[in-house]
Structure 1
Amino acid sequence: MVSDSSFIGEYLATTSDILVAASISFTVLAFLIRDILWLRSLAILGNLFMAISDVTHDPLPVINFFGHLLIVAINIGHSFYLIMERRRAVLKPREQALREQALGSMDAVTAKRLFLLGQWVWIDEGTTLITQGQKPDRLYALLEGKAFAAARYRKVGELGPGQFVGEMSFLTNDTAGATVVTSERCLCFEWDRELLRQQMDRSKDLNAAVVAALGGDMARKIMSQNMRFVRKQLPARG
Protein backbone atom coordinates (compact mmCIF):
# COMPACT_ATOMS: atom_id res chain seq x y z
CA MET A 1 0.00 0.00 0.00
CA VAL A 2 1.29 3.43 -0.98
CA SER A 3 1.26 5.93 1.88
CA ASP A 4 -0.04 9.47 1.47
CA SER A 5 3.42 10.92 2.04
CA SER A 6 5.04 8.75 -0.62
CA PHE A 7 2.26 9.60 -3.09
CA ILE A 8 2.78 13.32 -2.53
CA GLY A 9 6.51 12.90 -2.72
CA GLU A 10 6.29 11.04 -6.02
CA TYR A 11 3.62 13.01 -7.88
CA LEU A 12 3.89 16.47 -6.28
CA ALA A 13 7.63 16.65 -5.97
CA THR A 14 8.16 19.96 -7.77
CA THR A 15 6.57 23.40 -7.81
CA SER A 16 5.44 22.73 -11.38
CA ASP A 17 3.63 19.54 -10.31
CA ILE A 18 1.81 21.41 -7.54
CA LEU A 19 0.77 24.21 -9.90
CA VAL A 20 -0.51 21.75 -12.51
CA ALA A 21 -2.46 19.84 -9.83
CA ALA A 22 -4.00 23.10 -8.60
CA SER A 23 -4.90 24.06 -12.18
CA ILE A 24 -6.61 20.71 -12.79
CA SER A 25 -8.53 21.07 -9.52
CA PHE A 26 -9.83 24.51 -10.51
CA THR A 27 -10.79 23.24 -13.97
CA VAL A 28 -12.72 20.26 -12.58
CA LEU A 29 -14.48 22.51 -10.06
CA ALA A 30 -15.44 24.91 -12.86
CA PHE A 31 -17.40 22.13 -14.57
CA LEU A 32 -19.41 21.62 -11.38
CA ILE A 33 -20.44 25.27 -11.06
CA ARG A 34 -23.66 26.53 -12.66
CA ASP A 35 -23.02 30.22 -12.21
CA ILE A 36 -21.20 31.38 -15.34
CA LEU A 37 -19.31 34.14 -13.53
CA TRP A 38 -17.86 31.70 -11.00
CA LEU A 39 -17.09 29.29 -13.83
CA ARG A 40 -15.04 31.93 -15.63
CA SER A 41 -13.31 32.95 -12.40
CA LEU A 42 -12.19 29.36 -11.81
CA ALA A 43 -11.08 29.09 -15.44
CA ILE A 44 -8.95 32.20 -14.93
CA LEU A 45 -7.29 30.68 -11.86
CA GLY A 46 -6.73 27.34 -13.57
CA ASN A 47 -5.05 28.85 -16.63
CA LEU A 48 -3.10 31.33 -14.51
CA PHE A 49 -1.60 28.46 -12.50
CA MET A 50 -0.73 26.68 -15.75
CA ALA A 51 0.99 29.83 -17.07
CA ILE A 52 3.02 30.10 -13.85
CA SER A 53 3.90 26.43 -14.16
CA ASP A 54 5.17 27.07 -17.69
CA VAL A 55 7.56 29.70 -16.32
CA THR A 56 9.24 27.04 -14.16
CA HIS A 57 10.32 25.10 -17.27
CA ASP A 58 13.58 25.72 -19.07
CA PRO A 59 13.27 26.46 -21.90
CA LEU A 60 9.94 28.28 -21.61
CA PRO A 61 7.16 26.54 -23.63
CA VAL A 62 6.22 29.76 -25.41
CA ILE A 63 3.07 28.53 -27.19
CA ASN A 64 1.62 26.97 -24.03
CA PHE A 65 2.51 30.00 -21.92
CA PHE A 66 0.93 32.60 -24.18
CA GLY A 67 -2.00 30.28 -24.92
CA HIS A 68 -2.87 30.13 -21.22
CA LEU A 69 -2.45 33.90 -20.89
CA LEU A 70 -4.78 34.41 -23.86
CA ILE A 71 -7.45 32.23 -22.22
CA VAL A 72 -7.01 34.21 -18.98
CA ALA A 73 -7.46 37.50 -20.87
CA ILE A 74 -10.57 36.27 -22.69
CA ASN A 75 -12.18 35.08 -19.46
CA ILE A 76 -11.31 38.33 -17.68
CA GLY A 77 -13.03 40.25 -20.49
CA HIS A 78 -16.14 38.07 -20.34
CA SER A 79 -16.22 38.28 -16.54
CA PHE A 80 -16.09 42.08 -16.68
CA TYR A 81 -18.97 42.05 -19.19
CA LEU A 82 -21.02 39.75 -16.93
CA ILE A 83 -20.41 41.95 -13.88
CA MET A 84 -21.51 45.08 -15.77
CA GLU A 85 -24.56 43.27 -17.15
CA ARG A 86 -25.59 42.09 -13.69
CA ARG A 87 -25.29 45.61 -12.33
CA ARG A 88 -27.69 46.77 -15.03
CA ALA A 89 -30.07 43.92 -14.24
CA VAL A 90 -31.73 45.62 -11.27
CA LEU A 91 -35.45 45.00 -11.63
CA LYS A 92 -38.07 47.60 -10.77
CA PRO A 93 -40.82 46.58 -8.30
CA ARG A 94 -43.36 45.77 -11.03
CA GLU A 95 -40.78 43.84 -13.02
CA GLN A 96 -39.72 41.85 -9.97
CA ALA A 97 -43.36 41.07 -9.15
CA LEU A 98 -44.06 39.80 -12.66
CA ARG A 99 -40.84 37.83 -12.68
CA GLU A 100 -41.86 36.05 -9.49
CA GLN A 101 -45.40 35.37 -10.73
CA ALA A 102 -44.88 34.53 -14.40
CA LEU A 103 -41.24 33.96 -15.27
CA GLY A 104 -40.46 31.09 -12.93
CA SER A 105 -36.76 30.45 -12.47
CA MET A 106 -35.65 33.01 -15.08
CA ASP A 107 -32.56 34.81 -13.80
CA ALA A 108 -32.63 38.58 -13.26
CA VAL A 109 -30.28 39.34 -16.17
CA THR A 110 -32.44 37.49 -18.70
CA ALA A 111 -35.62 38.91 -17.20
CA LYS A 112 -34.26 42.45 -17.56
CA ARG A 113 -33.41 41.78 -21.21
CA LEU A 114 -36.96 40.57 -21.70
CA PHE A 115 -38.48 43.65 -20.06
CA LEU A 116 -36.38 45.95 -22.24
CA LEU A 117 -38.18 44.47 -25.27
CA GLY A 118 -41.68 45.51 -24.19
CA GLN A 119 -43.72 47.98 -22.18
CA TRP A 120 -46.32 48.27 -19.41
CA VAL A 121 -49.89 49.05 -20.48
CA TRP A 122 -53.16 49.61 -18.66
CA ILE A 123 -56.03 47.92 -20.52
CA ASP A 124 -59.68 48.83 -19.90
CA GLU A 125 -62.39 46.34 -19.01
CA GLY A 126 -64.01 44.67 -22.00
CA THR A 127 -60.98 44.98 -24.27
CA THR A 128 -60.27 42.09 -26.61
CA LEU A 129 -56.62 41.12 -26.30
CA ILE A 130 -56.53 38.32 -28.86
CA THR A 131 -59.18 36.93 -31.21
CA GLN A 132 -59.81 33.28 -32.02
CA GLY A 133 -58.71 32.35 -35.53
CA GLN A 134 -56.41 35.36 -35.88
CA LYS A 135 -52.66 35.55 -35.34
CA PRO A 136 -52.01 38.09 -32.55
CA ASP A 137 -49.36 40.75 -33.01
CA ARG A 138 -48.84 41.07 -29.25
CA LEU A 139 -47.94 38.77 -26.37
CA TYR A 140 -49.25 39.79 -22.92
CA ALA A 141 -48.46 38.97 -19.30
CA LEU A 142 -50.96 40.00 -16.61
CA LEU A 143 -49.77 41.58 -13.39
CA GLU A 144 -53.08 43.00 -12.13
CA GLY A 145 -56.67 42.30 -13.12
CA LYS A 146 -58.47 39.39 -14.75
CA ALA A 147 -59.57 38.26 -18.19
CA PHE A 148 -61.58 35.37 -19.60
CA ALA A 149 -61.06 33.09 -22.59
CA ALA A 150 -63.88 32.10 -24.90
CA ALA A 151 -63.99 29.66 -27.80
CA ARG A 152 -66.95 29.50 -30.19
CA TYR A 153 -68.85 31.95 -27.99
CA ARG A 154 -68.44 29.73 -24.93
CA LYS A 155 -66.36 30.66 -21.90
CA VAL A 156 -63.55 28.17 -21.47
CA GLY A 157 -61.35 29.68 -18.79
CA GLU A 158 -60.22 32.60 -16.70
CA LEU A 159 -56.86 34.33 -16.57
CA GLY A 160 -55.32 36.24 -13.69
CA PRO A 161 -52.09 37.78 -12.44
CA GLY A 162 -48.95 35.91 -13.47
CA GLN A 163 -50.48 34.38 -16.59
CA PHE A 164 -49.73 34.99 -20.25
CA VAL A 165 -52.16 35.78 -23.04
CA GLY A 166 -51.34 34.46 -26.50
CA GLU A 167 -48.54 32.12 -25.40
CA MET A 168 -49.85 29.06 -27.28
CA SER A 169 -50.16 31.00 -30.52
CA PHE A 170 -46.69 32.44 -29.98
CA LEU A 171 -45.05 29.07 -29.35
CA THR A 172 -46.77 27.39 -32.31
CA ASN A 173 -46.61 30.47 -34.56
CA ASP A 174 -50.27 29.82 -35.36
CA THR A 175 -53.60 31.58 -34.91
CA ALA A 176 -55.18 31.98 -31.48
CA GLY A 177 -57.29 29.07 -30.29
CA ALA A 178 -59.53 31.32 -28.17
CA THR A 179 -60.62 34.92 -27.75
CA VAL A 180 -59.39 36.61 -24.58
CA VAL A 181 -61.26 39.63 -23.17
CA THR A 182 -60.45 41.60 -20.03
CA SER A 183 -63.14 41.24 -17.35
CA GLU A 184 -61.76 44.22 -15.41
CA ARG A 185 -59.12 46.88 -15.83
CA CYS A 186 -55.76 45.13 -16.18
CA LEU A 187 -52.12 46.06 -15.88
CA CYS A 188 -50.22 44.05 -18.45
CA PHE A 189 -46.77 43.84 -19.91
CA GLU A 190 -46.87 43.56 -23.68
CA TRP A 191 -44.33 42.52 -26.27
CA ASP A 192 -44.40 42.93 -30.03
CA ARG A 193 -44.35 39.31 -31.19
CA GLU A 194 -42.08 39.80 -34.18
CA LEU A 195 -39.54 41.86 -32.24
CA LEU A 196 -39.48 39.31 -29.42
CA ARG A 197 -39.08 36.42 -31.86
CA GLN A 198 -36.21 38.19 -33.63
CA GLN A 199 -34.37 38.67 -30.34
CA MET A 200 -35.01 35.06 -29.34
CA ASP A 201 -33.57 33.87 -32.67
CA ARG A 202 -30.40 35.84 -31.90
CA SER A 203 -29.97 34.54 -28.35
CA LYS A 204 -30.21 30.88 -27.37
CA ASP A 205 -30.30 31.81 -23.67
CA LEU A 206 -33.22 34.21 -24.12
CA ASN A 207 -35.02 31.71 -26.36
CA ALA A 208 -34.69 28.89 -23.82
CA ALA A 209 -35.82 31.11 -20.92
CA VAL A 210 -38.89 32.47 -22.73
CA VAL A 211 -39.96 29.05 -24.03
CA ALA A 212 -39.62 27.61 -20.51
CA ALA A 213 -41.76 30.40 -19.00
CA LEU A 214 -44.47 30.21 -21.67
CA GLY A 215 -44.45 26.41 -21.70
CA GLY A 216 -44.80 26.28 -17.93
CA ASP A 217 -47.77 28.65 -17.99
CA MET A 218 -49.42 26.69 -20.80
CA ALA A 219 -48.94 23.40 -18.92
CA ARG A 220 -50.54 24.86 -15.77
CA LYS A 221 -53.53 26.09 -17.79
CA ILE A 222 -54.03 22.67 -19.39
CA MET A 223 -53.81 21.00 -15.97
CA SER A 224 -56.36 23.45 -14.57
CA GLN A 225 -58.77 22.77 -17.46
CA ASN A 226 -58.39 19.03 -16.96
CA MET A 227 -59.17 19.38 -13.26
CA ARG A 228 -62.30 21.39 -14.01
CA PHE A 229 -63.40 18.76 -16.51
CA VAL A 230 -62.87 15.96 -13.99
CA ARG A 231 -64.85 17.81 -11.31
CA LYS A 232 -67.76 18.24 -13.72
CA GLN A 233 -67.77 14.52 -14.47
CA LEU A 234 -67.87 13.51 -10.82
CA PRO A 235 -71.39 12.74 -9.60
CA ALA A 236 -72.83 15.40 -7.30
CA ARG A 237 -72.93 14.41 -3.68
CA GLY A 238 -76.45 14.36 -2.36
Structure 2
Amino acid sequence: MRKALYILGQLNDADVQWLQRHGTRRSLGDGEVIVRAGQPVDAVFISLDGALCVTLGNGTRLAQLGAGEFVGEMSFVDTAPPSATVAALGRASVLEIKRTDLQHRIDEDPGFSSRFYRALAIFLADRLRAANHRLGQGEEGDLRGDAVIEDELDDTVLDTVSQAGERFHRLLAALSGG
Protein backbone atom coordinates (compact mmCIF):
# COMPACT_ATOMS: atom_id res chain seq x y z
CA MET A 1 0.00 0.00 0.00
CA ARG A 2 3.06 2.23 0.11
CA LYS A 3 2.56 3.51 -3.46
CA ALA A 4 -1.00 4.50 -2.60
CA LEU A 5 0.35 6.59 0.26
CA TYR A 6 2.65 8.46 -2.12
CA ILE A 7 0.24 8.87 -5.00
CA LEU A 8 -3.10 9.40 -3.23
CA GLY A 9 -1.46 11.57 -0.59
CA GLN A 10 -0.41 14.09 -3.23
CA LEU A 11 -3.70 14.04 -5.16
CA ASN A 12 -6.79 15.76 -3.85
CA ASP A 13 -10.28 14.30 -3.36
CA ALA A 14 -11.50 15.52 -6.77
CA ASP A 15 -8.51 13.83 -8.45
CA VAL A 16 -9.29 10.51 -6.77
CA GLN A 17 -12.95 10.81 -7.75
CA TRP A 18 -11.83 11.39 -11.34
CA LEU A 19 -9.72 8.19 -11.20
CA GLN A 20 -12.76 6.32 -9.90
CA ARG A 21 -15.06 7.67 -12.64
CA HIS A 22 -12.62 7.12 -15.50
CA GLY A 23 -11.13 3.85 -14.38
CA THR A 24 -12.53 0.39 -14.97
CA ARG A 25 -12.56 -2.25 -12.26
CA ARG A 26 -11.05 -5.42 -13.67
CA SER A 27 -11.16 -8.86 -12.02
CA LEU A 28 -8.10 -11.01 -12.67
CA GLY A 29 -7.75 -14.77 -12.59
CA ASP A 30 -4.67 -16.54 -11.28
CA GLY A 31 -1.73 -15.86 -13.61
CA GLU A 32 -3.57 -13.27 -15.70
CA VAL A 33 -1.04 -10.75 -17.04
CA ILE A 34 -1.74 -7.00 -16.96
CA VAL A 35 1.77 -5.86 -17.97
CA ARG A 36 4.07 -7.93 -20.19
CA ALA A 37 7.79 -7.23 -20.42
CA GLY A 38 8.76 -5.67 -23.74
CA GLN A 39 5.20 -4.82 -24.78
CA PRO A 40 3.71 -1.32 -24.66
CA VAL A 41 1.34 -0.57 -21.78
CA ASP A 42 -1.85 1.33 -22.58
CA ALA A 43 -2.94 1.89 -18.98
CA VAL A 44 -1.87 2.38 -15.40
CA PHE A 45 -3.35 0.15 -12.72
CA ILE A 46 -4.16 0.44 -9.03
CA SER A 47 -4.27 -2.90 -7.24
CA LEU A 48 -7.54 -3.07 -5.31
CA ASP A 49 -7.26 -6.49 -3.70
CA GLY A 50 -5.38 -9.73 -3.99
CA ALA A 51 -1.72 -9.93 -4.98
CA LEU A 52 0.29 -9.24 -8.11
CA CYS A 53 3.65 -10.81 -8.94
CA VAL A 54 6.39 -8.85 -10.73
CA THR A 55 8.89 -11.02 -12.66
CA LEU A 56 11.71 -10.54 -15.12
CA GLY A 57 11.74 -12.29 -18.48
CA ASN A 58 14.03 -15.00 -17.07
CA GLY A 59 11.47 -15.81 -14.37
CA THR A 60 13.26 -14.01 -11.52
CA ARG A 61 10.66 -12.74 -9.10
CA LEU A 62 11.21 -9.09 -8.25
CA ALA A 63 8.28 -8.30 -6.00
CA GLN A 64 4.84 -9.17 -4.77
CA LEU A 65 2.41 -6.26 -4.75
CA GLY A 66 -0.69 -5.92 -2.62
CA ALA A 67 -3.66 -3.58 -2.40
CA GLY A 68 -2.97 0.04 -3.17
CA GLU A 69 0.03 -0.52 -5.41
CA PHE A 70 0.34 1.37 -8.68
CA VAL A 71 1.51 -0.52 -11.77
CA GLY A 72 2.57 0.82 -15.15
CA GLU A 73 3.61 4.25 -13.92
CA MET A 74 7.16 4.03 -15.28
CA SER A 75 5.97 3.22 -18.80
CA PHE A 76 3.49 6.06 -18.52
CA VAL A 77 6.26 8.53 -17.69
CA ASP A 78 8.77 7.57 -20.39
CA THR A 79 6.71 5.40 -22.81
CA ALA A 80 9.46 2.76 -22.90
CA PRO A 81 8.15 -0.79 -22.82
CA PRO A 82 8.24 -2.38 -19.37
CA SER A 83 11.19 -4.51 -18.30
CA ALA A 84 9.07 -6.81 -16.13
CA THR A 85 5.83 -8.76 -16.32
CA VAL A 86 3.05 -8.24 -13.77
CA ALA A 87 0.47 -11.00 -13.25
CA ALA A 88 -2.14 -11.91 -10.66
CA LEU A 89 -1.18 -14.32 -7.89
CA GLY A 90 -4.51 -16.00 -7.33
CA ARG A 91 -7.61 -13.89 -7.78
CA ALA A 92 -7.09 -10.13 -7.73
CA SER A 93 -8.72 -6.95 -8.94
CA VAL A 94 -7.33 -3.70 -10.28
CA LEU A 95 -8.59 -0.30 -11.32
CA GLU A 96 -7.44 0.24 -14.91
CA ILE A 97 -7.01 3.83 -16.08
CA LYS A 98 -6.38 4.14 -19.80
CA ARG A 99 -3.27 6.06 -20.85
CA THR A 100 -5.27 8.25 -23.25
CA ASP A 101 -7.75 9.28 -20.52
CA LEU A 102 -4.98 10.03 -18.04
CA GLN A 103 -2.96 11.98 -20.60
CA HIS A 104 -6.04 14.01 -21.55
CA ARG A 105 -6.64 14.87 -17.87
CA ILE A 106 -2.99 15.91 -17.47
CA ASP A 107 -3.16 18.08 -20.60
CA GLU A 108 -6.44 19.73 -19.56
CA ASP A 109 -5.81 20.26 -15.82
CA PRO A 110 -2.45 21.77 -14.84
CA GLY A 111 -3.24 21.33 -11.12
CA PHE A 112 -3.86 17.61 -11.55
CA SER A 113 -0.77 17.33 -13.73
CA SER A 114 1.40 18.97 -11.09
CA ARG A 115 0.05 16.81 -8.27
CA PHE A 116 0.25 13.59 -10.31
CA TYR A 117 3.83 14.10 -11.49
CA ARG A 118 4.95 15.24 -8.02
CA ALA A 119 3.49 12.04 -6.57
CA LEU A 120 5.32 9.94 -9.18
CA ALA A 121 8.58 11.80 -8.54
CA ILE A 122 8.35 11.23 -4.78
CA PHE A 123 7.56 7.56 -5.27
CA LEU A 124 10.27 6.93 -7.86
CA ALA A 125 12.87 8.75 -5.73
CA ASP A 126 11.99 6.49 -2.81
CA ARG A 127 12.19 3.41 -5.04
CA LEU A 128 15.66 4.45 -6.26
CA ARG A 129 16.88 5.00 -2.69
CA ALA A 130 15.58 1.59 -1.64
CA ALA A 131 17.21 -0.08 -4.67
CA ASN A 132 20.52 1.62 -3.91
CA HIS A 133 20.29 0.44 -0.32
CA ARG A 134 19.59 -3.15 -1.42
CA LEU A 135 22.55 -3.00 -3.80
CA GLY A 136 24.86 -1.92 -0.99
CA GLN A 137 25.14 1.76 -1.85
CA GLY A 138 23.67 2.81 1.50
CA GLU A 139 25.36 2.19 4.81
CA GLU A 140 23.60 -0.33 7.02
CA GLY A 141 22.34 1.38 10.16
CA ASP A 142 23.02 4.92 8.91
CA LEU A 143 20.99 7.05 11.30
CA ARG A 144 21.88 10.54 10.14
CA GLY A 145 18.99 12.93 10.52
CA ASP A 146 18.50 13.24 6.78
CA ALA A 147 18.79 9.53 5.95
CA VAL A 148 15.66 7.73 4.81
CA ILE A 149 15.76 4.11 5.92
CA GLU A 150 13.99 1.43 3.88
CA ASP A 151 10.32 1.16 4.94
CA GLU A 152 10.52 4.55 6.68
CA LEU A 153 8.20 7.23 5.34
CA ASP A 154 9.71 10.66 4.85
CA ASP A 155 8.08 13.87 6.12
CA THR A 156 6.58 14.62 2.70
CA VAL A 157 4.53 11.44 2.93
CA LEU A 158 3.88 11.42 6.68
CA ASP A 159 1.82 14.59 6.41
CA THR A 160 -0.56 12.89 3.95
CA VAL A 161 -0.65 9.26 5.15
CA SER A 162 -3.97 9.43 6.96
CA GLN A 163 -5.64 11.31 4.12
CA ALA A 164 -4.20 8.91 1.53
CA GLY A 165 -5.46 5.86 3.43
CA GLU A 166 -8.91 7.39 3.71
CA ARG A 167 -8.95 8.19 -0.01
CA PHE A 168 -8.00 4.62 -0.89
CA HIS A 169 -10.76 3.19 1.34
CA ARG A 170 -13.32 5.59 -0.19
CA LEU A 171 -12.15 4.52 -3.66
CA LEU A 172 -12.60 0.85 -2.74
CA ALA A 173 -16.04 1.50 -1.27
CA ALA A 174 -17.18 3.46 -4.33
CA LEU A 175 -15.94 0.76 -6.72
CA SER A 176 -17.68 -1.90 -4.64
CA GLY A 177 -20.94 0.03 -4.85
CA GLY A 178 -20.91 0.96 -1.14
Q: Which of the five TM-score ranges fits, normalised by the shorter chain?
A: 0.5 to 0.7
* Cα drift, residue 142 of structure 1: 1.0
Alignment of 1:82-231 (within 5 A): 102-153=7-58, 154-230=60-136
Question: Rg: which structure is higher?
Answer: 1
Q: More strand by proportion, 1 or 2? A: 2
Q: More helix by proportion, 1 or 2? A: 1
* Cα drift, residue 104 of structure 1: 1.5
Structure number with greater CO (CA < 8 Å, separation at least 6) is 2
Q: Deviations over 1:77-104 (max 9, x none)?
A: xxxxxxxxxxxxxxxxxxxxx9657412
The answer on whether the counterparts of 1:125 and 1:184 sit within 8 Å (CA) in structure 2 is yes
Q: How many residues matched?
A: 136
TM-score by length of 1: 0.50
Measure the CA separation in 2 of the matches of 1:222 and 1:111. 26
Percent identity reads 24
Distance 1:112 1:184, change over 3 A: same
Unaligned runs of 5+ in 2: 141-178
Distance 1:184 1:192, change over 3 A: same
Output the amino acid matched with 1:229.
L
Output the amino acid matched with 2:26.
V
* Cα drift, residue 152 of structure 1: 2.8
Please, what is the CA RMSD of the aligned residues? 2.6
Measure the CA separation in 1 of the matches of 2:126 and 2:50. 19
Distance 1:125 1:221, change over 3 A: farther
Ranges of 4+ aligned residues in structure 1 off by more than 4 Å: 98-102
